[in-house]
Structures are given as structure tokens and as C-alpha cells.
Structure 1
């Protein structure tokens, strides 16, 4: 190889390396909308009506201005999962008793389902609201995703058995998303169609926006990633004021940062 060719190759390598570093360090600035103190254990997020949801001392609460509702169950142990997709049918799951409760918009109990008493044995490892009076359920006994009709008390499996442990999952009405322990990202629709969505970045916490975008935290920094970007290395850092935080949630371009005793809401416009 001639000196000229080697020089061109070296310059090309430097340019590519510089482009990759630049792509990984793009910034998204958030506009602070509100900031207030909140004495809770876990902040869960907002619904489309502006109510906030939180847990303190295992009591589930819903607040907006001077309005406040609460629900607690002494007999079922700790709340391990909350699904707020439908504010008229809120899902509370209690892992200790393999039981789910559905609450109305004033946090009155609509129904209680003990999966241990189901005709088809179910041990719930993941759960969320789906369509047509159904719940998404990942059954640890057969390692398959299914749909449970809570009015008919009927369960049907829709996926093949998963081959890796679920590290994180998230649901919407039509889709069950999950990330396995190797950071591979998948989706399953209500008809059982399973799609591989690629590999996600290593994360401490993550929230899926849609089938190609997600926000994640790592070492107390927040990032946005779009897997449809032609440059697969592009990760945009989200600039916030907090140096440390306990959790975050994102809904309708509002990013809520929860620290030990306060919440800050940012307006975030993702690329």
C-alpha cells in the first residue's frame, strides 16, 4: 500500500470516528414546565385528564388540584405493577397473591382476579391492559404471552414460548413489548405476530415510546434513541437540571423526572 493510499485511509478512519462520536453526543433540550414537591414512595405518571398517580406506604392515590382518591388493600400485600392506559379501568397487580384488581376512575374496585384459581394454571410474570375486555398476561408456567378475558374469565395463549428471560416489558392496547436479558427488543400483537425490533442500548431504566423509539437512563443521564435513524449510533442526550433522579416517565411529549421528594415536568420534542 502506497503512502498516499495509507494517508487517505487514515483520514477516512478519523472522519468516520469523529462522525460516530458527534452522532452519539447530540443534545435534546427540555423546557421546564412545572416543579413541585411530592411526598410519595413511587410516582407513576399522569393520565390524559391531568390526574397524577402515585404510591405511598402501599396506598395507591390519584390527585388533581384539590381532588384526591385512594385505594388500599391490606390483604393482598404490596402493589407490584400498575397500568394506567385506561383511566376508567386501572390495573393493579399484587405479585404475592398472583392477583389483579381493576379500579374505576374513582378508584373503586370493579373486579378482582386470582389467577391461582383459574381453570388454566397461570403464574403472572407480566400484565397490562389490552383491547376488548382483555389483559395481556405473560404466564411463567409455559413462558408464553397470552390474553385473559376478564369478563368471560377465559385465557388464550398467543405467542410461542420465549427463549430468554424478560428483563423489561411494556404494553399498549394492541402490543406487548419486551426486552430480554441480552437487550434484544421484541413485540407481539394481539394476533400473536412476533417481531424482532433490534437490540437496545444498555440501560438502568427504560420507557418505550413506540416500535422504533425509546428513552432510557444510564448512570443518571437520560437518552433518546430512534432505531429507524440511518446512523445506528445516533443517541441523543436529553438535558435536564437534575444530576440524580429515582425515576422518569414520558407521555405526550411531557417528560416527568421524579426525585426523592419532588417532580419536575419538561416539554420534550423528540426528533
Structure 2
């Protein structure tokens, strides 16, 4: 099997000389939830309440529809990048459930029962019928085809503890306690960046927003300099970014901010 070698770049994520990015409050909405997941420009909001994933949108005429599977324990993560193939990860049972846009179950992957067992700790959406999964036993990121139960690609082992992963159809971002790694669809390492204390991230058109303590920072695509985002004093329970619009869930209120990116 041929190996493709790609030169990658090393960046240090520095905030020392970057001017803060300003933000303007657009709206704030009451939202009673245990956890906010995501929203978009079409007024579709996903959130978790009492271990049930809820969706509120115009197509549901303001009525919240929900999905629950209490036999699988607590929902660990939800990825709504592909609204036609939403994935719910139940870490305690090593299982992923795929939902359609009506929150109807269309596929279930039990990693315990695969011919090649996988001990999965993180999951994110891939293209077609694939998921990015982090195999805790091998310390490798894998692109897994859940229709054929086969691994299309895998990375070299990642040496430091993984904090978060995010993806789109082409790339996957893996945040560890020491580095941020960016991989392509074939498992090749494209970029490597030092982590300066960030605990989670969100991807917006390959731009990145990081959380550190109770503050957010913005890294523009192909830039090596992180800029702090200027925000009012809010407790950031969860956050999400789409098309330079930032959503922050704080103590029962969902805030929408417009970021002013130069």
C-alpha cells in the first residue's frame, strides 16, 4: 500500500499581539435545556433536555420534536453538521445512533459487536456513510464506514490526551492537551499547532473558535494568530458558530452575536 507524505506546518497559537474581535448582540432567547447543541440561519435549534435530543424549527411549526434512547444511557455528544444524518454518541455503551432530519432512527452502530472491536471515545461526522472515530485502544483517529463496517483511513497514533474533535466532509480537527492536529480525508496530517490551554473548539468554514476557561478565541483559516473575542460577562455553558454568527448558551438564555471579522 502506497503512503502519501504531505508537508505540514507548525503554528504556535499566539494572542499576544492580536487585536480583539468585536461582537454585537443580535438577539437573546429563553431556552430551557441541559445542553445547547447547535442552531443555524434557518432558525433550527437542537438542544438536550432530560437526556432527550430536541429539535425546534420552522418545519416543525414551533413544536419541539424529540429523540430518546434511554437504554443506551446518557447522550455524550451530538453532531448536526449533516442535518440529514445527525449522529448521537452514547459513550457508556460504545454506540452511535444516526437520525434523519425528523429525528427518526435510520442506523445504529454498536462498536462492541463489530468483527474488529473499537473502543471509541470521540465521534464526528464524515462524508457519505462515514464517521470520524477516535479509537481509545490504538490512540488513532479512524474514518469508519458504518455501512460496510470497514475503516477507510486511519492516522498515526496520537500521543497526548484528546479533548475534542470536529470535522466537515473533507477534514478533521483533533484538539489534544498539547497540540491541535488537522487531518485530511485520507488520514494525512496537514497541520499541527501548539495548544495554549484551549479545551474545546468549533469549526466555521474552516475558521476555528476555541474556548479557554470562560473566554473564546478566533483563528482565521490559514492564519497562525489567535484573536480574543470581545464579549460581555457571560457564563459560557455551550457555544456554536456558523457564518460568523456566534451563539452562546448561558444559564437558560441563548445569545446570538454577530462577529466583526476583518
The TM-score normalised by the length of structure 2 is: 0.85
Report the Cα offset of residue 219 of structure 1: 3.9
2:217·2:228 contact (CA, 8 Å) conserved in 1? yes
1:217 aligns with 2:211: yes
Name the larger-Rg structure: 1
Aligned counterpart, 1:13 = none
Structure 2 counterpart of 1:35, from 28, 41, 47:
28
Report the Cα offset of residue 132 of structure 1: 2.2
2:177·2:197 contact (CA, 8 Å) conserved in 1? no
Distance 1:197 1:176 in 2: 12
1:187 aligns with 2:182: yes
Give CA-to-partner distance per residue, 1:243-264, whole Å, 9 cap, x none: 3221211111110011011011
Using the TM superposition, name which of 102-111 and 202-211 deviates more: 202-211
SS of structure 2 residue aligned to 1:75: helix
The within-5 A match list for 1:226-237 is: 226=220, 228-229=222-223, 234-237=225-228
Give CA-to-partner distance per residue, 1:199-240, whole Å, 9 cap, x none: 1332244324465x42223342332234855xx6x5433222
2:177·2:195 contact (CA, 8 Å) conserved in 1? no
Aligned counterpart, 2:191 = 196
Using the TM superposition, name which of 39-48 and 149-158 deviates more: 149-158
Distance 1:36 1:77 in 2: 29
Using the TM superposition, name which of 90-99 and 195-204 deviates more: 195-204
Report the Cα offset of residue 98 of structure 1: 0.5
Distance 1:250 1:41 in 2: 19
Name the structure where helix makes up a greater proportion of residues: 1
2:153·2:185 contact (CA, 8 Å) conserved in 1? no
Distance 1:217 1:190 in 2: 26
1:158·1:190 contact (CA, 8 Å) conserved in 2? no
The within-5 A match list for 1:113-128 is: 113-128=109-124
Distance 2:200 2:125 in 1: 21
- For structure 1, the 5+ residue unaligned runs are 1-19
Give CA-to-partner distance per residue, 1:160-197, whole Å, 9 cap, x none: 22222212221112212112221x11112121211233
Structure 2 counterpart of 1:130, from 126, 150, 157:
126
Distance 2:126 2:245 in 1: 23
Aligned counterpart, 1:105 = 101
1:30·1:238 contact (CA, 8 Å) conserved in 2? yes
SS of structure 1 residue aligned to 2:25: strand
In structure 2, the CA distance between the partners of 1:106 and 1:214, relative to structure 1 (3 Å rule), is: same
Distance 1:264 1:144 in 2: 36
Report the Cα offset of residue 269 of structure 1: 2.9
The alignment of Structure 1 onto Structure 2 pairs a total of residues equal to 245
SS of structure 2 residue aligned to 1:36: strand
Structure 2 counterpart of 1:261, from 236, 252, 258:
252
Report the Cα offset of residue 198 of structure 1: 1.8
1:240 aligns with 2:235: no
| Aligned residues: CA RMSD | 2.1
